[in-house]
Amino acid sequence: MILSISGVVLLGIIVFLYFRKDGLKASHALVCALFGFYLAGTAIAPSIKAGGASLASLLGGIKF
């Protein structure tokens, strides 16, 4: 649960920065959000979630 909330916050910040700096239009952000919403209801959603969790654990294991 915490991972998904962190992911949503991170992606939200990225979309906001694109909107402010690179000229992302609000309609593009809306289409991206709707795409993610509908993608979450498909059969591929568990694979995407597992890939995200794997990437998070990989990044979490990096020691500086």
- What is the per-residue pLDDT for 4? 61
pLDDT for the residue numbered 29: 81
Please give the Cα distance from 1 to 56 (Å, whole number): 13
pLDDT at 5: 66
| Dist CA 5 CA 8 (whole Å) | 5
pLDDT tens, per residue, the chain with 64 residues: 455 667 777 777 888 888 888 787 888 888 888 888 888 888 888 888 898 889 888 988 888 8
pLDDT of residue 3: 56
